[in-house]
Chains A and B, each alone.
Chain A
């Protein structure tokens, strides 16, 4: 059994509590308890003189290059940072920005203030970037530890972003009552993530206690995004139809315009032939809506096409009903009916010679009108098709980004209310994996000791990066889960990437004691984060 379940356990009595309550024991225990020096607040203040003395002593005693203190946010490779996208926005009007990942930024009017708190007007440069996976986190150099109730955790991330704004090169702030809303695409639908803001002054993450999860089915989300293309920001959450309503709208437009083209094509005037005096003809009153090409002329008669097979006696019947059907070319099928009897004949519309000149004038006029209408409707059809293609291309791009970046059955938004520029994160604090606890002896593949400035452990299936400190070529208490796939990513003191992949890690790992980890050092100066990421496969 996983849990021991006690039923109706006797409660603690007031007497038992009173006799156990003893602050003297606690304070004695507290005073006797060894507090790690780095957790002591007093150390940082009263002990500053000691720090200086020890630091000087260390520099003198060790014949090693003194390391500069690291910046709070310290990307491991200066040339390989996750780039921010820049947008020029008008501070005086509301703006919506679609980020390449599918995230959306809603910037209200008057959202910016200058350093003195004065409202900013005109063009503003807004910068935005996101960090989604372990590689992004590693390359960001952003500390991912969080202190809660005296215990240090590592953040498991559901997505992190940085937003900032500038005018004339000077950083701006957010107008307090006009916050920016960011809907960031996340790679997980789980609801255990909180929203945190990185307080760079206090050098710590602050829990904002904001709900952030907006799970929406992929199709619905795309529909929502498409809706935004029309300026309608609402997200359809309940619809089950798999086709985007925006796409439907454009498809409808295409259908309508195509139908309009077909309708006008039906109205294409036809030239009426001269009547053949030798052939049988009959007069029919046609519906001008169904057969405008005939109704436009006066005194049109239908001339039998195949005189040889035409039964002339049919002309003597007093037919009660007649139906006309357009065939190919100038041919029409005419069906006469009376009771159960019917008679079919193929005929062409003709005019007597005397009516031809007037008919020609009508034809010329109608044909000009037809051509004008046709070209207008074809232009409308073309426009609708292009609009639809544009929407489909946008959707295809999002689909491909989604497939490439997320590869999940859902697309999820995390919302941030940005009232300060900086880093925001959706995280779940976790304890370091602790199944194995070793002292890592750090070497390269030739067993040469390695000095590391960064050492990170990454477990394949958890989106977090555990940072460790390597001192004098070893790392004490490197903790990991030995049953999982792990990798180590490190940076050497000469700024080279050093890695241990899953297979090597498994081959070298042990659960306790000293473990020699042989790193593969990548002797390359990286110019972009994509270059680094190629080596960070898990």
Chain B
């Protein structure tokens, strides 16, 4: 099939149908599981430092999704947003339970992306400052940073994952960038 709009509609309706089928029989959830396993696993791994732990949490996410599936209602968002939200809860729960330090994974491209957003040159010195500045952010701000600049998610999807609205997310991201720049300038 050609044409992006029709394709999207088709995918959404398929997900809705799959959810309905899985609500009636959890064995049917396997199709959704296989469809979204990789993206959820990468989402979790972005927030953990061990592959084994990330894959373990991912399995847990799908188990939680199956438990909560009866409460799931399609509100026009992709099913994946709902899964990511469960994943965020699960990652945070795991950190709290094990009293582990929250992990942030960042690569060179993401550093460059953040630097350009805050109009700072990409140097070793600035990178060190950015790392220090990130230590002063709260969990909510780290989530925004991760989703927007490390995972390059659109604001719309970020809003869906966070069960928020797009304009609020945008405003928060812009404030976060101001905050990061402010902290770096003070250091």
Chain A residues within 8 Å of B, Cβ to Cβ = 1-9, 11-12, 14, 16-17, 20-23, 25-27, 29-30, 33, 35, 39-42, 147-151, 191-192, 194-195, 207, 209-211, 213, 429
Contact = CB atoms under 8 A, between A and B. Distances in A.
B184 interface: no
Q: Which of B63, B101, B107 neighbours the largest number of chain A CB atoms within 10 Å of its CB?
A: B63
Contacts of B34: 21, 23
Contact of B102 (A2, A191, A194): A2
Contacts of A42: 70
Contacts of A192: 140, 164, 168, 172
Given A6-B104, A6-B106, A149-B89, A1 B135 contact: yes
Contact of A35 (B37, B42, B67): B67
B117 to A, nearest CB: 18
Interface residues of B, number: 56
Nearest to A8: B107
B66 interface: yes
A33 B63 contact: yes
Given A23-B34, A148-B163, A150-B67, 16 more contacts: A1-B101, A2-B101, A2-B102, A3-B104, A8-B106, A12-B54, A12-B55, A20-B37, A22-B59, A27-B66, A147-B71, A149-B68, A150-B72, A194-B168, A209-B159, A429-B163
- The SS class assigned to the B binding surface is helix
B30 A3 contact: no
Given A3-B102, A12-B41, A150-B65, A194 B30 contact: no
Given A27-B26, A27-B30, A7 B107 contact: yes
Given A12-B51, A41-B70, A147-B71, A194 B37 contact: no
B64 to A, nearest CB: 6
A6 B63 contact: no
B30 A213 contact: no
Contacts of A21: 33-34, 37-38
B49 interface: yes
- The SS class assigned to the A binding surface is mixed
A27 B31 CA distance: 12
Given A12-B41, A26-B33, A5 B104 contact: yes
Interface string B154-187: 0000010001111110011000000000000000
Nearest to A193: B168
Given A7-B107, A21-B34, A30 B134 contact: no
A150 B33 CA distance: 17
B116 interface: no
Which 4 interchain pairs have the tightest Cβ spacing?
A150-B68, A41-B70, A149-B85, A211-B167
B106 A3 contact: no
A17 B44 CA distance: 12
A5 B33 contact: no
A30 B86 contact: no
Contacts of A195: 165
Contacts of A12: 41-42, 45, 51, 54-55
Nearest to B161: A149
B105 A25 contact: no
Nearest to B135: A2
A7 B105 CA distance: 6
B149 interface: no
Nearest to B52: A20
Contacts of A26: 33, 59, 62-63, 66
Contacts of B62: 23, 26
Contact of A9 (B49, B85, B102): B49
B40 to A, nearest CB: 10
Contact of A211 (B30, B89, B107, B165): B165
Nearest to B131: A5
Contacts of A191: 168, 171-172
A14 B63 CA distance: 22
Given A5-B104, A21-B34, A150 B64 contact: yes
B163 A194 contact: yes
Contacts, number: 141
Contacts of B89: 149, 151
A427 to B, nearest CB: 11
A4 to B, nearest CB: 4
Nearest to A21: B37
Contact of B71 (A22, A33, A150, A429): A150
Contact of A20 (B41, B67, B70, B172): B41
A55 B89 CA distance: 35
Given A1-B101, A194-B165, A7 B172 contact: no
Contacts of A7: 105-108
Contacts of B37: 17, 20-21
Nearest to B58: A20
Contacts of B41: 12, 17, 20
Q: Which of B29, B105, B131, B140 neighbours the largest number of chain A CB atoms within 10 Å of its CB?
A: B105
B147 to A, nearest CB: 15
Contacts of B122: none
Nearest to B169: A191
A29 B38 CA distance: 19
B15 to A, nearest CB: 15
A4 B172 contact: no
Q: Which of A12, A149, A211, A213 neighbours the largest number of chain B CB atoms within 10 Å of its CB?
A: A149
Interface string B134-156: 11100010100000000000000
Q: Which of A151, A207, A213 neighbours the largest number of chain B CB atoms within 10 Å of its CB?
A: A151
Contacts of B66: 26-27, 30
A479 to B, nearest CB: 13
Nearest to A35: B67
Contacts of B134: 3, 5
Contacts of A14: 38
A69 B121 CA distance: 64
7 contacts: A2-B135, A27-B30, A41-B71, A191-B171, A209-B159, A211-B167, A213-B168
B120 to A, nearest CB: 17
A417 to B, nearest CB: 12
Contact of B165 (A2, A25, A209): A209
A7 B127 CA distance: 11
Contact of B104 (A4, A148, A209, A429): A4
Interface in B61-116: 62-68, 70-72, 75, 82, 85-86, 89, 101-108
